[in-house]
């Protein structure tokens, strides 16, 4: 308060003479100008960020949209083809199949991660040091680079009886599975790997959310004679509402844009049984040079994530009111 009062008088006298540049600005906007400095100062601080975002986010986004309406021909100039690329994408069987696989994978992984993550969080809620250790150990898959996760699971999924998971399953008397080499089990295998890596992440967020659930409600529920299951259903789950919707959006987007683990585990095979939108876009754009069609696919994928995000936000806002 006192600082603000000193300023105008200082401007009027000695300081004005010492710093003549400050005077005109000070006259038009007496208080703001000093605090804000010259108008371009914030832009100077923002310049590196704006430049990088322009180059690596905004221009690529703009290009993706324009390319999706063009037949992209390096060295020959691009030809405007209107909605042809979109028509190609939407009518091609390969794309429709990939879209379906993507949705299946996204739904399965999202559900698996949420359920398993919540279960883990409920099991491991608490303060003891031993629990902290177990939580950290369970969390490790999240920080392991995805490329390592894929190579590790590839070897564990070895399709013969002496493969690691197969020999474990053999202990329970089940016959060896082909896992990622069998079109019937490939999708589920990728899903399991994704859940293995995603569930501990959800667990950590759930744990943070559980910390803010009102402890008194548990006590009250106990007094009312509620069992564990009822406590979870009527106290914990409602208390975690916002956590659920955030995790849902994150997991669903993660699922829709899935690339690296599919690329490394199966690269779409066997028989295209695990081809997802992103691996298809990669093949179209960077291996077959059909950049326009690839871009159209990417734009559609982006729209899908956007619609999903907006829907969940709307849904949530209505729920809160």
Segment 204 to 243, residues that bind other proteins, using CB under 8 A: 204-205, 208-210, 213, 215-216, 218-219, 228, 231-232, 235-236, 242-243
Contact indicator for 274, 187 with CB cutoff of 8 Å: yes
Tell which positions 252-271 bind other proteins, by CB under 8 A. Answer: 253, 256-257, 259-260, 264
Give dist(CA 193, CA 294) in Å, integer: 27
Of 187 and 203, which CB lies nearer to other proteins in the complex structure? 203
Specify whether the CB–CB gap between 318 and 241 falls below 8 A.
Answer: no
Cβ distance to other proteins smaller for residue 45 or 172: 45
Contact mark string toward other proteins, 73..112, x via CB under 8 A? ----------------------------------------
State which of positions 271-290 bind other proteins (CB under 8 A): 278, 281-282, 285-286
Cβ neighbour number for residue 247 with a 10 Å cutoff: 22
**Rounded (5°) CA angle 107-187-122:** 50
By CB under 8 A, the residues from 185 to 204 that bind other proteins are: 196, 200-201, 204
Residues 135-194 that bind other proteins (CB under 8 A): 136-141, 143-148, 151-156, 158, 160, 162-164
Is residue 61 a contact residue for other proteins (CB under 8 A)?
yes
From the CB of 153, what's the least distance to other proteins, in Å?
7
Out of 14, 83, 134, 307, which residue is the one contacting other proteins (CB under 8 A)?
A: 134
- In whole angstroms, what is the distance from residue 163 CA to residue 160 CA? 5
- In the bound state with other proteins, the residue whose beta carbon lies nearer, of 115 and 144, is 144
Closer Cβ to other proteins, 122 or 169, answer by number: 122
Q: What is the largest CA-CA distance in the chain?
A: 93
The residue range among 22-30, 96-104, 105-113, 127-135 that interacts with other proteins, by the rule CB under 8 A, is 127-135
Residues from 20 through 39 that contact other proteins (CB under 8 A): 32, 34-37, 39
> C-alpha dihedral over 265, 269, 273, 277, to 10 degrees?
70
User: From CA 240, how far away is CA 232, in angstroms rounded?
Assistant: 10
Which residue from 14, 115, 123, 311 is in contact with other proteins, where contact means CB under 8 A?
123
Contacts with other proteins by CB under 8 A: the residue count is 107
Stretch that binds other proteins, among 62-70, 77-85, 169-177, 179-187 (CB under 8 A): 62-70
Please give the Cα distance from 219 to 230 (Å, whole number): 13
Q: Does the protein bind other proteins through residue 16 (CB under 8 A)?
A: no
Q: Which of 48, 128, 102 has the alpha carbon at shortest distance from 261?
A: 102
Residue with Cβ nearer other proteins (83 or 147): 147
Binding other proteins by CB under 8 A: which of 9, 14, 27, 59?
A: 59
Among 9, 29, 53, 241, binds other proteins (CB under 8 A): 53
User: Which alpha helices (H) appear in the chain, and where do they start and end?
Assistant: 2-12, 14-18, 22-28, 32-36, 41-53, 59-67, 84-91, 93-123, 129-143, 146-156, 164-171, 186-210, 215-223, 228-231, 237-239, 241-256, 260-265, 277-282, 291-320
Is the distance from CB of 34 to CB of 3 less than 8 angstroms? no
DSSP 71: E
């Amino acid at each position: 308060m006192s600082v603000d009062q000193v300023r105008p008088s200082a401007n009027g006298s000695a300081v004005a003479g010492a710093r003549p540049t400050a005077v005109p600005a000070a006259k038009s906007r007496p208080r703001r100008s000093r605090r804000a400095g010259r108008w371009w100062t914030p832009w100077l601080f923002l310049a590196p960020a704006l430049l990088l975002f322009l180059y690596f986010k905004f221009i690529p986004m703009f290009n993706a949209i324009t390319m999706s309406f063009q037949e992209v021909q390096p060295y020959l100039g691009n030809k405007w083809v209107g909605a042809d690329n979109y028509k190609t994408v939407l009518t091609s069987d390969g794309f429709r199949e990939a879209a379906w696989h993507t949705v299946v994978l996204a739904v399965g992984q999202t559900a698996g991660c949420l359920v398993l993550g919540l279960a883990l969080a409920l099991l491991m809620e608490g303060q003891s040091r031993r629990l902290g250790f177990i939580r950290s150990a369970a969390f490790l898959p999240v920080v392991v680079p995805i490329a390592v996760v894929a190579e590790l699971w590839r070897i564990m999924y070895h399709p013969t009886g002496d493969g690691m998971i197969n020999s474990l399953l053999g202990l329970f008397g089940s016959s060896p599975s082909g896992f990622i080499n069998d079109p019937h089990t490939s999708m589920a295998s990728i899903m399991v790997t994704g859940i293995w890596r995603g569930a501990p992440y959800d667990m950590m967020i759930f744990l943070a959310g559980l910390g803010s659930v009102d402890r008194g409600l548990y006590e009250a529920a106990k007094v009312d004679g509620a069992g564990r299951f009822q406590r979870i259903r009527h106290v914990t789950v409602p208390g975690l509402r916002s956590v659920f919707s955030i995790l849902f959006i994150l997991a669903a987007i993660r699922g829709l844009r899935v690339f690296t683990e599919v690329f490394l585990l199966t690269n779409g095979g066997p028989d295209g049984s695990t081809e997802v939108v992103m691996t298809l876009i990669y093949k179209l754009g960077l291996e077959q040079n059909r950049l326009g069609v690839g871009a159209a696919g990417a734009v559609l994928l982006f729209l899908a994530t956007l619609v999903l995000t907006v829907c969940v936000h709307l849904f949530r806002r209505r729920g809160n009111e």
